[in-house]
Amino acid sequence: MQMEVIFEEKRLRLAELLEYNKRLDKIILLYITAVYSVIGLRFADKLELSKLSSSIDSSYLLFLFVFLNLSIILHAISQASFAMSLAKFVHIRINSDIKKIIEENSQTVPSYTLSWDDWNTEIKNVAVRTRDGVVALWILLVISVSIYSIKIINISDFYENNHIECILIIISLSLYLLYIIYNAISLMYFSSKFHVDSDEIEAPKKLLWLYSIIITLLIILLTTLMVQG
């Protein structure tokens, strides 16, 4: 009876894991499709982005677009984090309980059913690495699109007409970006500790924040240079 309960728990957690992966894939695919659509319209001369630079209201719209882009990244990080946490729970907790019960009953542990959840085995390890690479490149794409959208507007005119609002918007977006970068780096760090029990992990929060601040400042510097250029 106990074994049936544990296997049912494992089945439910794997179903949740699959659902979170589907959500993450959908977010990435929808965004990439939207970007390709805009690029297609731009080259077909059906979308004139230069008109946005002459309107103050358009500046608010594009800042909102940047905020939504950052929110999409944060949401994707959330989905990936839930997927990783479920995968780790199955591998570290549930599989350990299954192995313990089998051994207590003096039975042979069916390694083929337990090793599937090991993310460091052969082809599955390749899948995890390439998946991480795709997510990283997708985040880079979203940030690049955000930087380009800021470049479209005439931020100098916007600042001259709205000093306080411009400063507040830039500070808010910068802090939001810092928070997102911190969570992205944290996800990478905890993913690298997949096989370590959660109780044994001591995250170097100060170091993670330092890396996040450096990366955020580099992004802000790059954005400033592109806007001025």
Total-model pTM? 0.82
State the sign of the Cα–Cα–Cα–Cα dihedral 37, 39, 41, 44: negative
pLDDT of residue 171: 93
Residue ranges, the chain, pLDDT below 50: none
Q: Under 8 Å CB-to-CB from 134, ≥6 apart: which residues?
A: 28
Task: Give the C-alpha distances (Å, rounded to integers) separating 99 from 7, 108, 154.
Answer: 12, 9, 63
- Show the tokens assigned to 222: 């790059």
Q: Which residue intervals of the chain are DSSP H helices?
A: 2-43, 56-88, 95-104, 111-114, 122-152, 155-161, 163-192, 205-228
Residue 117, classified by CB atoms within 10 Å of its CB into exposed (0-12), middle (13-18) or buried (19+), is: buried
pLDDT of residue 206: 92
pLDDT digits (tens, 9 = 90+) for 93-139: 888 888 787 777 766 666 566 666 666 677 777 877 787 787 788 88
